[in-house]
Amino acid sequence: MMNDAFDLRLTEAHIEVHKFRSGAIVVSTCLALMLQAFLPVYISKFAVLDLPLLVTIYFGLSRRNPSTGLLLGMIIGLLQDSLSGPTVPFGLYGIANTIIGYLASSIGARLDTEHPAARGALTMMFFVMHQGVVTLTRRMLLAEPEPWFTPRLAIAAAVNAVVAVLLFAVLDRLRKS
């Protein structure tokens, strides 16, 4: 057991904290929000994607700093709330994205998340958790009877995971070498 623990710490020490080109996070975030609000007008199926969430997950996993991750998640979530309709009060997606940003950066600090399979699996897990937090908030704070699980959620989680693998590979190019 001692050796296992020692090995784990050794592995943690090798996990690299990635830095990005200046403005990369801001530009990616704005682009994700705009595409999320704009593309479903022309491609209605695009609404199944949650690009702001994928950006939150990516920078959380890469930056590996829980404080930065949760603050970025909060900002992205609140911006998403502000672009939404009256059924989405400020803070609904803010809370969900804050938690996901924190978890992503905490996990990113402990595991190597560079492999596409790991990224896909983690995104799927985070997507389901994100929906879980939104549903919990709606049920507890807004007293709205939201279902915990729908077939659409499973499909959306899978689609977002696949898109995340491709999107993360593109975002990797924004890292400082």
Partner 1 sequence: MAGIPSRHKSLVLLAGVIILQVVLLAVQIKRDSQGRLLRVWTVGAVSPFERAGARGIGNIRGTWSHYFALQNTSRENEQLRRENDGLKLQVNQLQSKAAEADRLATLLNFRQAQRNVPMLGARVIGTSADTASQTIYLDRGERDGIRRNMGVITPDGVVGKVIESYRDTAQVLLLTDKDSGVGAMLADSRIQSPVGGTGEPLLSMKYIPTDDTVNVGEHVVTSGMDRIFPRDLPVGVVAEIKTGRPFQQVRVRPAANLQRLEEVIVLLTLQPLEKKEPAAPAAETSGKSVGGTAAVNP
Considering only residues 18, 84, 114, 165, which one is a binding residue for partner 1 as defined by CB under 8 A? 84
Stretch near partner 1 under the rule CB under 8 A, chosen from 8-16, 28-36, 55-63, 120-128: 28-36
| Interaction of residue 70 with partner 1, rule CB under 8 A | yes
**Sequence letter at residue 34:** M
**In the 8-state DSSP scheme, what is residue 142?**
S
Of residues 76 and 122, the one with the C-beta less far from partner 1: 76
Q: Which of 171, 53, 168 is nearest to 119 (CA)?
A: 168
- Residue 129 makes CB contacts below 8 A (sequence gap 6+) with 99, 100, 103
| Interaction of residue 41 with partner 1, rule CB under 8 A | yes
Q: Which two tokens stand for residue 164?
A: 């995340």
Give the max Cα distance, the chain.
Answer: 57
Beta pairing partners, 175: 20
Closest approach, Cβ 116 to partner 1, in A, equals: 26
Q: Which residues are near partner 1 by CB under 8 A?
A: 33-34, 36-38, 40-42, 44, 47-48, 50, 52, 65-67, 70-71, 74, 78-95, 98-99, 102, 106, 134, 137-138, 141-142, 144
